[in-house]
Homo-oligomer: A and B are copies of this chain.
Amino acid sequence: MKGLKEQILESVRQDLVEIEAALTENLKPYLPLVSHVAKYILFSGGKRIRPLLMVLSARLCGYNGDYDKTMSVVFEYLHAATLLHDDLVDGADVRRGNPAAHSIWGNPATVLVGDFLLARSIAIAAETDSVPIIDILAHTTAQMSEGEIHQLLHRGDLALDETAYIEVISRKTACLIQAACQIGALLAEAPEEEVQSLADYGYHVGIAFQMADDLLDYTADATVLGKAIGADLREGKLTLPVIYALNCASIEDRRRLETIIQAIGISRSDFQTVLGLINKYGGIQYTRDRAQEHIEQAKKCLHIFSVSKQRTLLEQLADYVMVRKM
């Protein structure tokens, strides 16, 4: 029996081919360096989940125009722009198993190519002649930068609770995935109820996606993940597994966690201690349960649509969020 990933891939193979082509065609840089840096980040093993969600959302709402693949690259460009800027912000040296762009081309080119990708995204969106689409995109971009700043400000902040965590991941991750689904529906000129349902679907998928990502940082195989596990903890990013553990821990265990989190430099054995305490208090399972709830909510949002190939694919993509290994 085929795995979920293989089933999805089989259904969207042609879409993915067209999205890959559109990613190159729409870049239109004037300088070769822009093309090099942008392509380095764009073609480094991204799963194209955002463009795919947009294309499928449009099609679910009956879209049959020819701008969906072009428009879909906007979400990959914006995602790539934030990866370029965020890796620089986080001082992360590795991305998907390769050196981060800023450690090859330096901060200046990385900042500016990120800006170029942001600008290209809006220019492509403007081609739709739809002000609501552009408006959502502009607000999404502003929210993403504020989400990253929020996270930056809370580095190592032991007072960060689950509510604040959800706030951060809503802005830095969920809002772009939400925008992809919502804009897919808008491109199809879907009725408001459908637009809202797909926006909600995207929001819940986005939250689950980030929770799953945060789980991988504690549970993945480093060679599959393409970066060292425990990176979040070393960067002072408190995510739900550890927030939950901190919240449930005995006074003594909480102190042990706090001491490690606030230390400069976290050793392999420190990380194992944290992982042990997270497991002791069920932080992994708790996060998995919350993510699963969001996936169920996401799938429920699709109930207003009649059953179709697209609806099934969107349901499968929601489920895929929890089973991915990188």
Question: Using a CB–CB distance below 8 Å, which chain A residues touch chain B?
Answer: 29-31, 33-34, 85, 88-90, 107-109, 111-116, 118-120, 122-123, 125-127, 129-131, 134-135, 137-139, 141-146, 148-150, 152-153
Contact = CB atoms under 8 A, between A and B. Distances in A.
A129 B152 CA distance: 34
A contact face: mostly helix, strand, loop, or mixed:
helix
Nearest to A89: B108
Contact of A33 (B89, B125, B126, B153): B153
Nearest to A149: B112
B146 A109 contact: no
Contacts of A114: 111, 115
Contacts of A129: 131
A149 B33 contact: yes
A116 B142 contact: yes
A32 B311 CA distance: 41
Contacts of A130: 131
A119 B142 contact: yes
A118 B107 CA distance: 18
Contacts of A113: 145, 149
Contacts of A135: 123, 126-127
Contact of A146 (B116, B123, B126): B116
B89 A148 contact: no
Contacts of A29: 146
Contact of A109 (B118, B123, B127, B149): B149
B31 A149 contact: yes
Given A111-B111, A152-B109, A134 B122 contact: yes
Given A115-B145, A119-B144, A131-B134, 19 more contacts: A31-B146, A85-B111, A88-B111, A107-B107, A111-B111, A111-B114, A112-B148, A112-B149, A113-B145, A114-B115, A116-B142, A119-B145, A122-B122, A122-B137, A123-B135, A125-B138, A126-B134, A127-B135, A129-B131
A231 B31 CA distance: 25
A142 B126 contact: no
A107 B122 contact: no
A283 to B, nearest CB: 27
Which of the listed residues A33, A108, A144, A149 has the most CB atoms from chain B within 10 Å of its own CB? A149
A152 B108 contact: yes
23 contacts: A31-B150, A34-B149, A85-B112, A89-B111, A89-B112, A90-B108, A112-B149, A115-B115, A115-B118, A116-B142, A116-B145, A116-B149, A119-B144, A120-B138, A120-B142, A122-B134, A122-B137, A122-B141, A123-B135, A125-B138, A126-B134, A126-B135, A127-B135
